Structures are given as C-alpha cells and as structure tokens.
Structure 1
Amino acid sequence: MGAFVILLSLAAIASLILSPIMAIIALARAGALRGEIEALKHAFARREISTETPSPSPSVSERPPARPPTPEPESAVAPVPAMAPAPAPAPLPEPASPPPMPAPRFASAAEQPAARRPPRDTAKIEEKLGTRLAVWLGAIALALAAVFLVKYAFDNNLLTPTTRVTLGALFGAALLVAGEWLRPKVDRIAQGLSASGVAALYASVVAAVSVYHLIGQTLGFVFVILITAAAVLLSLRQGMIVALVGLAGGFVMPALLRTDVPKPAALFSYLLLLEVGLIAVTFARKWWALSAATLVASMVWAIVWIAGMHAGTFPTEHGLWVGLFLILSATAFVITERTQRRDDIRARFGIPGFFSWAAMGSGLILAAFLTGTAQYSWREWTFLWILSAGCLVLGRFDPSKEGLAGLAALLGAALLAIWRGEGLAANDELRFGMVALAFGLLFAGGGYACLWGSTRPLAWAVISSVAALLYSLVAYCAIERLPSPLSWGIVSVCVAALSIAGAFPLGRRRARLGSGPLAAYAVAATTFISLAVPLELDREWITVAWALEVAALAWLGSRLALPAMRILAGILAAAVGIRLLLNPAVLTYPIGELVLVNWLLYGYGIPIIALTWAAHIFRKTKDDGLVHGLEGLAIALGFVLLALQVRQYFHPADIGASTCSLAEWGSFAIAWMGYGIVLSACACRVPRPSLRYGGLIAAGLGLIEALLLPCLAQNPLWSRHPVGELPVVNMLLYVYGVPGLLALVFARQLARAGCRTHAAYAAVASIVMFFILLSLQVRQAFHGAVLTGPTPSNAEWYAYSAAWIVFGFALLLVGILSRSMTARYASLAVMLVAIAKVFLFDTRELRDLYRVFSFLGLGVSLFLLAFLYQRFVFRRKEPCAPQ
C-alpha cells in the first residue's frame, strides 16, 4: 500500500510538471506557425509594392478619377506598409506599359486585418492581462500547489519527511529546468516557471530545517544562499519575476531559519551580499522597482534589529554589525549609481540618484536611532560621523545630493539636543563635548572645504556657518558648567576669528564665487562676537548683543556691499524689538536699586544707540522700509525706557509691583509728553518721518494718559491719593500743572508745524488740566492732604466760584494778548460754568454774605468781561490767528 501511494504521488507530481510543459510546447509551436504565415504575407506584400509602383508619375490633373466599384492598385497596397515590420526594398525599374491589376482577393486580405485591428490602448491592456498577469498568477499557483501537496502529505502521513522534502526539491529543480528550456521560445512563461521553482526550493529548505529538522540551520542557510544566488543569476537571463522571488525569499528566509543564539555577523554579511547582488542586477537591467524593494527590505532588517536592541531582545553589542551594515548598504547604492551608464535615459530623470539619496538618508536616520538605542556610545557616534562625512563628499561631487549634508548636520545637532534633554551623567559631559566638537569641525570645516570649486558655494557656506553656530550653542547649553581653562566667551571670539580668517580668501575671489559665501561668514563672525558678551554675563544681555550685531551688520554691509546684510539685520532687529517690547520677563531682570544708572540704561540705551547708528548707515545706501523700521524701533525703545525708569524710581528693584501712586501716574504723562516734544523739536531740524510721527504719538499718548488717569480714574477726589499738606506747592502742581504746561508747549509746536487741528486739541487738554488743578487746589486749601473729606462749606463753595471767574479772566487776557481764539473760547466756557454754578447752585446752597458776594462778584465780572471784549477784541479790524 505504501509503495502504491508513493507511485501515485510521483505520478501526480509528474502530471503537474508535464501537463503545463506540454501545453506550453504546443502553444509555442502554434505561435511559431502563425509567425511563419505572417512572414510569408509580409514578403508577398513587399513584392507587390515593388512590382506595381509606376515609374513616370503623372500629374494630379492628368490622372483619371478613380471608379468606386473597381479597387485601384494604390488602395490595394496602401495598408500593407503599416503591417510590414521592415522597410520595403528599393523598387525595380518599371516598364512603360500600365501596371496590371492585382487580384481582388489579395487586396481584401490586406485590408481586413487593418480594419479589424483593436485600438492601441486596448491592445496594451489585453497584452498585460493575457501575458504578464497570467504568468504571475500561474507562477503563484504552481508554488502554492507544491506547498499544499507537502501539507497534504504531512497531514495524512503519506510520505516520510525525507521523501517529502526530496520531492519538493525535485519539483523546484524541474521547474527551473523547464523555465530555462522554454526561455528562447516564450520568455514570460519561462520566468513564471523559474520563479515557481525558486519558491519551491525555498519551501523545501524551510521544511527540512524548521519543520522536520532533517538538516542543521547552518547547512540550511548555505542552501538558502545557493538558491538566492541561482535566482539572481537566472533573473539576468530570464526576467524580473525571478529576481523578485529571489529577493523575497532571500530576505524572508533568515527570519524563518532563526537560530537559538542571534548571529548578527553572519546575518548582516549575508544581507549585504544579497543586497549588493540585487543592486547590481537592478542597475544592469534597469529594474528600478526591484531596487526600491531591495532598499526597503534591507532597512526593515536594520529597523527590526534596532527595535530588538531597544526592547532588550538583542544586546547593544550588536550595534557594531548594524552600523557597519548601514554604512556599507548606503555605499553600495552610491557606488552603483556612480558607475552606471550616464547615457541611460532613466538616469536623466534622476531615478538612480533618488535611490542613493534615499539610501543615504535612511542610513543617517537609522544610525541616529541606533546611537540613541546604544546609550550614545562612542562606536555608534562614529558610525553616524562616517555617514555624515560621506554625505559631505557625495554632495560635493554631486550637486543634487547637497541636501544630504544639511540633513546630516541638523540630525547630529538634534540628536545631541535629545541627549542633553534626557540628562547627562557626570561622566558623559566630556564625551558630549568631544562629540559636539567632532561634528562641528566636520560640518564647519568640511563645508568650507567643499565650497571651493563647487557649483553652489553659497549652500556650502551656509551649511558651514550655521553648523558652527548650532553645535557651539548645543555644546554651551549642555556643558557650560564643565571646568575648562578657557571661558566660553573666549571660545566664541576664537570661532569668530576663524570665520573672519575664512572670509578673507572669499573676499579676494568674490568676483568668481559671488557675495553669498562672504556674507555667510561675515554673519557668522558677527554672531559669535555678539554672543561673547552674553555668554560671559547674565542672559539679559543677549538682546544687547543682538542690537550690537545689527550695527555690525550695517557696517559690514556698507563696507562689503552685501545686500543680504539688510535682510539679516531686519530679522535680528525684529528679535530685539520682541525681547525688549513684548517680553514680560524684563520685569524680573536684576535691574538694581539705583534710579537712573541701572541695567535699564544699558539694556535699552545701548540697543537704542546701536539701532539708530545702523539706520544711519543703511540710509546712506537706500532709504527704505528697513531704515524707517530701525528708527521707529529705536524711538519705541526710548518710550519704554522712560516708562521703566519711572517705575524704577517709584519701586526700586521691583518694577513689577502692582501698586501705582498719583505721582507715578503724573510722571508717566510728564515723561512721555516731554519725550514727544523733544522728538518733535528734532524733527524740525532733521526732517525724518519717524521723528515727526514718533513725537506726535509719544506726546499724544502722554496727553491721553494724563486725561484718563490723573484727571478721571485716579482723581484724588475719589481715589484717596494724598496730595501734600502745603497749599499750592504740592503734588497737585506736579501732577496737573507740569503736564498742562507741556501740553501748551506741544500745542505751540503743532501750530508752528501747520497741524492747527491737533494744536487746538492739545490746547484744550491743557486748559482742562489747569481747570482741574485750580479746583483741586481750592479743595486742598480747605481739607489738606486727603481730598476725600466732608461736604464743602460755604466758604469753599464761594472759593470755587471766585477761582473759576478769575481763571476765566486770565484765559481772556491770554487770548487778547496772544490773539488766540482758542483761549478766548475757553474763557467763555469757564465763565459759563461759573455763571451756571452761581445761578443754579450758589442760590440754593450759599447763605448770608457768601451768597451776596457770589452774585456781586459775578455781576462785576460780567461787566468787566463785556468791556474787555468791546475794547480789545471786536474793536480790532485784523482777524485773530487761531492757535
């Protein structure tokens, strides 16, 4: 019974092998016969063309019209050239007699194929479905047939394990032989058979090693190498299907033939050889899909091993083999690209270059992950450094790969920052500094070396200068507390000196290299110089250094004629403005307790001078938006400086305090209005829009602050602010009198400048403040320092009326003497307020002689007012100049 089963199984296998082979042979023979018939038809058609073409070609007008029922010779042979695969031979000399009429059956035979030919796109789709897809599915079906046959024999215990494995191997070998035998006849079917054979051999090895344990893992691995090599070699003769099956089996089989103890050296050596072989096949046959699959499969193995190291499955010592594999894999792709034929049409579209770019980029990223997984050891950092150096070399000789150098520089700096964020051990600081130094020298020095003779020197100059700055800052933030014989400020100055030394040769070759590289190193030098001061001092000096760098950029831009300096200066000036205008941390800086000579004077005064000087330098070249922006920023910093100095005066060393006195509110108004008046005065001598508008805004804000806060919100009548015990000479005179005088000066400036409407507003605001000052002084005379006392007495109410009337007459006299219509109108307004008070309030509230004197004084004042208007105002003929 067992022998019968064995014979039956052999017969089944033979039928599986022979049946498709016989069908394929029959198909091949039928195809050959059809080809011979078509060749005979084409030969006969060419002969017809050569014998029926007339030698003398009559003119078009002399030819008789063609009769539709009878086919002409041209119509009989017209479709034939479209069918002919080769050009027709030269025609023989024609006789003078007219050509004979061809038989109608040949004409119809030639016309019918052309008329019934399907569209071109439909033919392509049908070809792919009928030839390629069928071959692929057939190969998969044969491979599955072998797998299911072995499974059936295993489930039913029909054959011994040795017999099962042997039959599977024989089946695979038979398919390989059949595929090679059919290759000259039907190549795609041959590819399918060979691919099925390779899959059957892989399955036999898996069954022999992992299922039945007939052979050892080492011997099984040797068989896998031989099968994979055979598949790769056969793919060169047959096609990509065999190579894809070999790729899949070659990369999957190590996972199926795993050993008890991981052997990364043998595994990654095998994977590297497999990868190199597949890459060679790819670039030899231009199978770019195979190259992509090879790259992905290789990187997947590296990812799996790195993930295993991170999870603790594999020891960190395996990082040696993973790192070497990443370096050699990327090198294999790069070398293959460099040695492939340059006249290949695919190379013009960048397909090989893309794979080398992807190989180097993925190698860099995986090397960075490997370094972090291995606890940032020296070995893994070395692997990443080697790949980074390779990116520099590759980018220098191939401009399309310059981006890899920038990617490597950013990746190294990011990895150092992550290491710093995770926390450095006591013995890691020195290693951190050495690694940062190695990478900084690589990209700063390597970038500088690569710019010479390159097609894009600016890109290399940017990489070099930015890398120097980036790695210096990373190293400083991580190991600033490490004992060192040199301070970081000296290190910064030394790096700046190196940048300047590197810029001198670029300046001498500026005509050939352009201004970009010189600008990059000039910016780097000024950056390091400006950072030297804050690196040595507290961090609140960084903004001061940035402002100084703006001035340095302006000077360099003017001396070297570098337009790029304007853009960089604008960006840096914006950073200065953000840190000094919108940074609440300024309130927490250690300013000191001195009133004027403190950090505010330096922290804001130096940027104001630097920005003003930079605007002056830039204006010599071009008076554009950058110049106006620098001037406006300097003016805004001066405005904020005055406000902070006021806070420092009232709250020494605590400018962030939440309280604010009446005197402080008045000081804000005085400082801002005085600042605006000074700017407006400067604008009269130096006609700059920034000075004119800056003065208008600063004085206007001071005026608004005085009206809204001391006059309304913080008025001592209801805010309980003490104003002093002395009459007249007290806090009220400072808070309301000084801003009122400054408002008058500002109104006079505006009137001289021709801004009469704004001047009138400022004058009215001044009069309002003087009126409030007078009223509060009356209140202070009766109640002392605190004005929120009891209800006014009769004497106090009378004093208000008398004071207002006197103030109205004073305004009238000022208006008459200065011919100011605004003062006269204000006088009338004050007198109307006094009249309303006397008639509406004093009549009801005042008693005895106070009421008598109130009406008496008002009557006399009104007569005197009328006299002054008739005598000095309306008698004049000339119009009064408004103010």
Structure 2
Amino acid sequence: MAAVTLFSFLLAVNLGAQVIVILGLLGGFLTPALLPSVSDNAPALFLYIALLDLGVAAVALRRRWHYLVLLAALGTALTQLGWAIQFFNAAKGGRALWIFLGFEALFLALFFLRSLKTETHDRKDTIWLAAAAVVVGFCALGFGFWLAAFPVLGRQPLFFFSFVFLADAGLLALPVLGRAHRGIALGAGSLTFVLVAEWIGLFAPHGPLGAALAAIVIFALLHAVTVPASAWRPGVLPFTAAGTVAPFLLLTFLLYRVALWNPMPVFGVALVLTAILLAAAIVKRADWLALSALLGSGLVELSWQSARFSPEEAIPALVFYGLFLILFVAFPFCSAQKEKAWSWAISALAQALQFWLIYRVVTLAFPNEWMGLLPAIFILPAALGVWSLLKLYRADPATGDSRLAWQGGALLLFVSLIFPLQFDREWITLGWALEGVALLWLFGRLPHRGLRLVAVVLLCAAFARLALNPA
C-alpha cells in the first residue's frame, strides 16, 4: 500500500489529476487500519504517517492543491486518536507527548514555510495550511483532557502543563505570528482555561501550590499579554478582555479549592498580574485594561476576604490591600491618556473597593473606638487626585470634567463616612444625607449629571431610612 501511495503521488503530479492523489492519500491513511497490530509499534507507525504527510504536502505545494494538506491533517488526527484508543495508558505519557506535539510542530512548520514564500496580497493560499495546523493543534490540546483522566499523569504537573502549554503556544503562534484568524486564539485560550481549571479542581487540593500558581502565571503570559498584542483595536475588546480576566478567575477558583488561609501566595500573583495589565494599559494606550485589572484583582480580594479571612492573617492582608491601592492611585498619573476619564474613574473605584476591604479587616481583627480615622486617611489619595487635576492638568470644573467628578465624588464619599463610622444609628442616615448634599454642592461647581443622580439617590435613601426606621 505504501508503494501504491507513492506511485499515485508521482502519477498525480505528472498528470495533474487531483482524484489520483486523493485516492492515494486515502489508501495511505487506511493502510494502518487495514493492517492492525496487536502490539504498539508507535515509532514505525508515526514515522510512516510523517512521511505520508510530507509527501502530500510536497504534492499540494507544488501543484497548489493546498486543501490536500487539510485532508492529511484530518487523517493524521484520526490516526493519533485511533492509536490512543487502542494503546495509550499512563506509562506512555512521554510517547504521547512527541506523537501529538511533534505533528503539531510539523504542520506549523508547513504553514510558516509557505507563509514566508507567499506575497502579502496572496494570503489565501495559506488558509488551507492554517486550517490543517488548527486541526492537529486542537487535537493535541484536546488530548490534555485524556491525560487528566489518568491520575498518575495528572499528579505530574510539570509533564501535564508542559504538554498543555506547548500545544497552546503552537496554536497561538498562528494568529500572533502568522496573522491567522484571531478566533483560533480565543478557542485555544478557552480550551486551555478549562484544562487548567480542571487540573486545579482535581489535583490542586493535594498537589503543590506552586505548580498551580505557575500554571496560572504562564496562562496569563500567553493569553493576557501575547494574544491581545494582535488585537488591541476597540472592535475586539470582548476577545481581549476574556484573556485578561481569565487568570484572575483561575486564582479565585484555586482559593475555593485549596484552604489558603495565608493570602500572600495568591495575592502576590494577583498583584503581579495587576501590575502587568496596568503597564500594558500605559504602553498600549488602552486604559480600559485597567478596568480588567480592577475587576480581576477585586474578585480575588473579595473572594479571599469572604471565604478565607482569619484575624491571624490580618497584617499580610492589609499590606497587600495597601499595595493594590498604591498601584491604582498611581495609575492615572502614569497613564498615556490622562485627558480621558477612564484612568481617573478606575482609580476612584479602586479607592472605594480597597477602603471597604481594609475597613472589614480592621473591624474584624482590630476593633477600636476610632474607626472614623480610616476614611479620613483615605481622603488623602482622593484629594491628591483632585489637586493634581486642578493644578497640574488644568481641569476646568465649569466644563463638567468627568475626571474631576470621579475624584471629587470619591473625596466627598470618604469625608461623609467619617461620622457614620465613628458613631452609629442615626449617624449612618446623616452620613448618607451629608454625602448627597455634598454631591449637590459639587454639582453646582462641576455640572456633571452623574453627581446629581447619585446625590438624589442618596438623599432618597436617607429619607426612606428616616421614614421607615425613625430610631
């Protein structure tokens, strides 16, 4: 059959007959199935398949019948799965690695070699080769679920994640380096996310914590940094945002699967990821990335605070909450888009979030009679933002500048919280009323509709509280 296949390829090239090469291709891939073996002879089998793929690729590239490469990829994937069903077991993990990743590398090489020889205006020739690389790549990445089904292999995080991330990186190379469709990266990222989450769910409770954290960092570097580099345009924000928030989702899942009472490992990774996203927002002039950083880090912080907090770990928690606060307060001053409201709004929201977290830690671990000092301290970063906008960046309140509205609103929030936190009962209602009046006062000098809306809501809430609970 191998000789017949080779002869059909040569005949097809000379006669220009596509039917002949298709029949030869089918015969070549059917040969292993028609000659089944009771013993595993994977090296000989896949050496034969590799030579067959190279022969098909040579014919396809010479005659410009590029769809044949896709057919060869489908045949290769089916052969791999057939071998796995019949022969794969936990002792053959290393063999599976070179079988699946080796063929992914082969089809990637064919794609990039053809891309180098193809003119920019003639990129349609590479679509079939990209599709072939996608088929073999997703076959390799999907085999990760098969590996996870074997506890012996799953408990070897170095082997498991090496396989998964190498297969993932091969697929990412297509859109990032080869300018293939960005949907490939989205699919690869989604599948890799599920694989990492599955490993955390199955093996992280009894495995090394460092392996799970390292896997999350590698995933972030591949998908929150590399992939968005080809998709910074506003039209693909959902695609890019999915990669930036996903690592924080994995960290949150890890928090609930592993009893991490000490927040330092998870908060340390979250802090690094946040810093990377904020730096990317500055370099790429994409301040919306800071919102992803705020949502992701906030999710991790709130999850740990609600599920794992203990008074013994209050000091490390306060340190990290303070570091997150410093990052977000400094961000608008470093942003390349200081004239826009994005960075200042995110900074104001981050101040409110970190205040709540720090307040909860102090209340639970260090209760005292001077809680009103806490919002007084938070007045400082908000006041710094307002002062900088007025003095350094020449913001004009008369124009209803949104940047001033956000920073000024945060400033008045902390001012109005001093009395409610220092006292209780009717002072809480008074605090709401004071905040509403203060926002109306600010609206008179800074005509921004959002200030008026929030002020009305607060005053209505204060009135309702007094009406329903006069005490």
1:369 is aligned to 2:253: yes
1:416 is aligned to 2:301: yes
Q: CA deviation at 1:208?
A: 9.8
Hey, what does 1:249 align to over in structure 2? 139
Q: CA deviation at 1:435?
A: 3.2
Supply the distance in 2 between the matched residues of 1:383 and 1:469 (Cα, whole angstroms): 22
Query: Aligned pair in 2 of structure 1 residues 259, 149: CA closer, same or farther (>3 Å)?
Result: farther
Hey, what does 1:231 align to over in structure 2? 107
Check conservation: 1:323, 1:380, Cα contact below 8 A. Answer: no
Supply the distance in 2 between the matched residues of 1:19 and 1:285 (Cα, whole angstroms): 36
> 1:175 is matched with which residue: 53, 71, 83?
53
Amino acid at match of 1:577: F
Hey, what does 2:388 align to over in structure 1? 505
Check conservation: 1:210, 1:256, Cα contact below 8 A. Answer: no
Amino acid at match of 1:435: F
Q: Secondary structure at the match of 1:375?
A: coil
Check conservation: 2:288, 2:342, Cα contact below 8 A. Answer: no
Q: CA deviation at 1:516?
A: 1.5
Q: CA deviation at 1:503?
A: 0.7
Measured against aligned partners, the alpha-carbon deviations of 1:3-35 in whole angstroms (never above 9, x if no partner) come to xxxxxxxxx4544x347636744762589xxxx
Q: Relative to total residues, which structure has the larger helix share, 1 or 2?
A: 2
Supply the distance in 2 between the matched residues of 1:303 and 1:206 (Cα, whole angstroms): 24
Hey, what does 1:304 align to over in structure 2? 198
Query: Aligned pair in 2 of structure 1 residues 210, 571: CA closer, same or farther (>3 Å)?
Result: same
Q: CA deviation at 1:292?
A: 2.7
Hey, what does 2:456 align to over in structure 1? 570
Hey, what does 2:123 align to over in structure 1? none
Amino acid at match of 1:177: G
Amino acid at match of 1:260: V
Supply the distance in 2 between the matched residues of 1:293 and 1:143 (Cα, whole angstroms): 31
Query: Aligned pair in 2 of structure 1 residues 328, 486: CA closer, same or farther (>3 Å)?
Result: farther
Amino acid at match of 2:152: D
**Structure 2 counterparts to residues 211-222 of structure 1, below 5 A:** 217-218=93-94, 220-222=96-98
> 1:333 is matched with which residue: 226, 238, 259?
226
Q: CA deviation at 1:506?
A: 0.7
Unaligned runs of 5+ in 1: 1-11, 32-133, 155-159, 339-346, 590-883
Unaligned runs of 5+ in 2: 115-125
TM-score after normalising by structure 2: 0.80
Measured against aligned partners, the alpha-carbon deviations of 1:84-111 in whole angstroms (never above 9, x if no partner) come to xxxxxxxxxxxxxxxxxxxxxxxxxxxx
Supply the distance in 1 between the matched residues of 2:18 and 2:308 (Cα, whole angstroms): 76
Supply the distance in 1 between the matched residues of 2:308 and 2:224 (Cα, whole angstroms): 34
Supply the distance in 2 between the matched residues of 1:30 and 1:204 (Cα, whole angstroms): 27
Measured against aligned partners, the alpha-carbon deviations of 1:154-193 in whole angstroms (never above 9, x if no partner) come to 3xxxxx544x762453144223223223322043343135
1:449 is aligned to 2:338: no
> 1:470 is matched with which residue: 353, 360, 379?
353
Measured against aligned partners, the alpha-carbon deviations of 1:572-592 in whole angstroms (never above 9, x if no partner) come to 2122112112x34x4xx4xxx
Query: Aligned pair in 2 of structure 1 residues 309, 263: CA closer, same or farther (>3 Å)?
Result: closer
Amino acid at match of 1:275: D
Query: Aligned pair in 2 of structure 1 residues 406, 434: CA closer, same or farther (>3 Å)?
Result: same
Check conservation: 1:554, 1:566, Cα contact below 8 A. Answer: yes
1:286 is aligned to 2:180: yes
Check conservation: 1:201, 1:227, Cα contact below 8 A. Answer: no
Hey, what does 1:435 align to over in structure 2? 320
Hey, what does 2:158 align to over in structure 1? 265
Hey, what does 1:479 align to over in structure 2? 362
Query: Aligned pair in 2 of structure 1 residues 580, 19: CA closer, same or farther (>3 Å)?
Result: farther
Check conservation: 1:268, 1:325, Cα contact below 8 A. Answer: no
Hey, what does 1:495 align to over in structure 2? 378
Aligned residues, how many?
Answer: 447
Measured against aligned partners, the alpha-carbon deviations of 1:618-648 in whole angstroms (never above 9, x if no partner) come to xxxxxxxxxxxxxxxxxxxxxxxxxxxxxxx
Q: Secondary structure at the match of 2:358?
A: helix
> 1:459 is matched with which residue: 342, 361, 376?
342
Check conservation: 2:228, 2:243, Cα contact below 8 A. Answer: no
Query: Aligned pair in 2 of structure 1 residues 23, 580: CA closer, same or farther (>3 Å)?
Result: farther
Query: Aligned pair in 2 of structure 1 residues 288, 24: CA closer, same or farther (>3 Å)?
Result: farther
Check conservation: 2:90, 2:152, Cα contact below 8 A. Answer: no
Which structure has more relative contact order (CA 8 Å, sep 6+)? It is: 2
TM-score after normalising by structure 1: 0.45
Query: Aligned pair in 2 of structure 1 residues 564, 143: CA closer, same or farther (>3 Å)?
Result: farther
1:546 is aligned to 2:432: yes
Measured against aligned partners, the alpha-carbon deviations of 1:507-532 in whole angstroms (never above 9, x if no partner) come to 23114996221122221111111111
Measured against aligned partners, the alpha-carbon deviations of 1:520-550 in whole angstroms (never above 9, x if no partner) come to 2221111111111111112431110121223
Amino acid at match of 1:228: E
Supply the distance in 1 between the matched residues of 2:444 and 2:373 (Cα, whole angstroms): 28
Q: CA deviation at 1:375?
A: 3.2
Q: Secondary structure at the match of 2:312?
A: coil
Q: CA deviation at 1:494?
A: 1.8
> 2:63 is matched with which residue: 185, 202, 211?
185
Hey, what does 1:722 align to over in structure 2? none
Q: CA deviation at 1:226?
A: 3.0
Supply the distance in 2 between the matched residues of 1:332 and 1:409 (Cα, whole angstroms): 16
Supply the distance in 2 between the matched residues of 1:138 and 1:429 (Cα, whole angstroms): 70
Q: CA deviation at 1:557?
A: 3.5
Supply the distance in 1 between the matched residues of 2:373 and 2:301 (Cα, whole angstroms): 23
Check conservation: 2:137, 2:170, Cα contact below 8 A. Answer: no
Supply the distance in 2 between the matched residues of 1:437 and 1:368 (Cα, whole angstroms): 20
Check conservation: 1:461, 1:517, Cα contact below 8 A. Answer: yes
Supply the distance in 1 between the matched residues of 2:421 and 2:444 (Cα, whole angstroms): 28
Query: Aligned pair in 2 of structure 1 residues 302, 486: CA closer, same or farther (>3 Å)?
Result: farther
Supply the distance in 2 between the matched residues of 1:472 and 1:454 (Cα, whole angstroms): 26
Check conservation: 2:281, 2:288, Cα contact below 8 A. Answer: yes
Q: CA deviation at 1:263?
A: 2.4
- Larger-gyration structure (1/2): 1
Hey, what does 1:861 align to over in structure 2? none
Check conservation: 1:202, 1:224, Cα contact below 8 A. Answer: yes
Deviates more, 1:231-240 or 1:216-225: 216-225
Supply the distance in 2 between the matched residues of 1:204 and 1:563 (Cα, whole angstroms): 65
Query: Aligned pair in 2 of structure 1 residues 227, 201: CA closer, same or farther (>3 Å)?
Result: farther
> 2:16 is matched with which residue: 19, 22, 28?
28
1:322 is aligned to 2:207: no
Supply the distance in 1 between the matched residues of 2:78 and 2:359 (Cα, whole angstroms): 61
**Structure 2 counterparts to residues 459-858 of structure 1, below 5 A:** 459-483=342-366, 487-508=370-391, 509-511=394-396, 515-559=401-445, 564-581=450-467, 583-584=468-469, 586=470, 589=471
Supply the distance in 1 between the matched residues of 2:7 and 2:239 (Cα, whole angstroms): 43
Query: Aligned pair in 2 of structure 1 residues 562, 349: CA closer, same or farther (>3 Å)?
Result: closer
Check conservation: 1:433, 1:475, Cα contact below 8 A. Answer: yes
Check conservation: 1:461, 1:521, Cα contact below 8 A. Answer: yes
Q: Between the two proteins, what is the percent identity of the paired residues?
A: 21
Deviates more, 1:533-542 or 1:365-374: 365-374
Supply the distance in 2 between the matched residues of 1:541 and 1:550 (Cα, whole angstroms): 14
Supply the distance in 1 between the matched residues of 2:181 and 2:212 (Cα, whole angstroms): 32
